[in-house]
Amino acid sequence: MMRALILGGTADANLLAAAIARAGIDAVYSYGGRTAAPAEQPLPTRIGGFGGVGGLADYLRHEAITHVVDATHPFAAEMSRNAIAACTQTATPLIALERTPWDRASGDRWIEVADVVSAVAALPGRRANVFLAIGRQHIAPFYARPQHAYTLRFVDPPEQALPLPDADVIVSRGPFTLENELEMMRTRSIEWIVARNSGGTGARAKIDAARALGLPVIMITRPLLPDRPRVESVSQVMEWLGHRTCLGA
């Protein structure tokens, strides 16, 4: 009997959950627990970590998981590495549903860096209005550059004040349109953007808006992961699971 585990938390994972539910596949959707009010899923859901590689391997055995789909965020590197190691230990088939990275287009003013610390170093020394589009888990290194006026956007409101002298938090859930992003950047006089190369279409509007406004983007490249089977669409995952689905159904 097939029983799949979806490591989710992304829009792609949500689409996959809907397709798996329509196909009648026994599956569990797992959230990392970073969002206070995650989107409801049409599948049984668990929330929270597994306790590292060993904990995930134990879960796969105890829950009789036969297939694992890593549909986490492209920058959830620790979870992805744990999934690779746990699936290797338990001989559980694994596939990654991974959106294609963005490519630099004509008019883009990207400064590509390897990590968040390098992104901080790439900011100008003078005061600037900076849009940090990197999630709340990665803002601590920017405390070293308190001279800037930061705009941040979170799904959930912060539990406590951010230790930045000039920080404005927008609480909102995407996806956002190009018009949304242009208005936000203009009204807040954004001069610099720091973003992760998440890829896909759901978060791309801020990159298109930066190009339209001629703004520099400090683009953090994706972390390196061990080789693993990967696909870029829900339909390819369904075929890997032995099912075909009509995404328009």
Q: Which position has the higher pLDDT, 202 or 9? A: 9
Cβ(113)–Cβ(219) below 8 Å: yes
Rounded Cα distance, 102 and 74, in Å: 12
DSSP assigned state of 164: -
Predicted confidence (pLDDT) per residue in 54-107, tens digit: 999 999 999 999 999 999 999 999 999 999 999 999 999 999 999 889 999 999
pLDDT band at 137 (very low <50, low <70, confident <90, very high): confident
Sign (positive or negative) of CA dihedral 37, 38, 39, 41 = negative
- Mapping DSSP onto H, E and C, the string for 81-104 reads HHHHHHHHHHCCCEEEECCCCCCC
Q: Is the pLDDT of residue 246 over 50?
A: no
Cβ(162)–Cβ(143) below 8 Å: no
Share of the chain above pLDDT 70, in %: 96
The upper half-sphere exposure of residue 28, i.e. CA atoms within 13 Å in the direction of its Cβ, equals: 16
